[in-house]
Amino acid sequence: MGRLGWGGYFGGLAAQLDGAFGADGAFAHDRLRFVDFVDDVEELLEEVARRERGDEEAADGFEEYVLR
């Protein structure tokens, strides 16, 4: 994403996903359901796509792909 010029979004993204991973980098299943995490990430990606391309369709299918 940085190569696409979307690097400015990473700071906000990290803050919004804070707490989803433990200090060891493993997903924190005891704090957040994985399906909820994936849904949140898809929403964030849709917002980036809406800002950059004017269309959130670029992020469609993310959730289904990850959960498959």
**Average pLDDT of each block of 10 consecutive residues along the chain (68 residues)?**
64 73 87 88 82 76 81
Q: What is the pLDDT of residue 45?
A: 81
Domain-wise residue ranges, the chain: 6-67
pLDDT score recorded for residue 11: 65
Q: Shortest CA distance to 17 belongs to which of 37, 35, 34, 43? A: 37
Query: Cα separation of 18 and 46, whole Å?
Result: 19
Longest dimension (CA), the chain: 37
